[in-house]
Amino acid sequence: MKVKNLSKSFKPSFFGEGSKIFGKVVFGKNVWIGLNSLIYGPCKIGNNVYISDHCIVGFPTRNELKKIRDGKENFKTFKGKGWVWIGDGCLVRSGCVIYSNVKVGGNVEFGHNVLIRENVKIGKNSLIGSYTVVDGNCKIGSNVSIQTGVYISAYTTIKSDVFLGPYCLLLNDKYMKRKKYQLKGPTICKGASIGGNSIIMPTITVGENSMVGAGSVVTKNVKPKTVVAGIPATEIKTI
Structural domain range at position 182: 14-238
Q: How far is residue 229 CA from its own chain's centroid?
A: 26
**Assigned domain for 222 exists:** yes
The Cα 115–Cα 92 span in angstroms is: 11
Contact 130, 114 (CB under 8 A): yes
Predicted confidence at residue 180, as pLDDT, reads 84
Q: Are 71 and 53 in contact (CB under 8 A)?
A: no
Residue 42: asked if its preceding bond is cis (omega within 30°), the reply is yes
Measured distance between the N- and C-terminal CA atoms of the chain, rounded to whole angstroms:
33
d(CA 27, CA 13): 10
pLDDT of residue 184: 96
pLDDT reported for residue 4:
56
Q: Let me know if residue 63 belongs to a domain.
A: yes
CATH number at residue 37: 2.160.10.10
pTM as predicted: 0.94
Greatest Cα pair distance, the chain, in angstroms, is 60
Tallying the residues shown for the chain, one arrives at 239
Strand 226-229 and strand 234-238: the pairing is antiparallel
pLDDT per residue of the chain (239 residues) written in tens, 0 to 9: 555 555 578 999 999 999 999 989 999 999 999 999 999 999 999 999 999 999 999 999 998 888 888 888 776 666 667 899 999 999 999 999 999 999 999 999 999 999 999 999 999 999 999 999 999 999 999 999 999 999 999 999 999 999 999 999 999 998 888 888 889 999 999 999 999 999 999 999 999 999 999 999 999 999 999 999 999 999 999 99
User: What is the domain count for the chain?
Assistant: 1
Specify if 1 maps to a domain.
Answer: no
20 domain-assigned:
yes
For residues 15 and 17, give the distance between their C-alpha atoms in angstroms, rounded to a whole number: 7
Q: Is residue 202 part of a domain?
A: yes
Buried b (16+ CB within 10 A) or exposed e, 2-21: ebeebeeeeebeebbeebeb
Q: Is residue 3 part of a domain?
A: no
Query: Does 111 reside within a domain?
Result: yes
Give pairs for 142-148: CB < 8 Å, separation 24+: 142/105, 147/196, 148/111
**Residue 67: helix, strand or coil by DSSP?**
helix
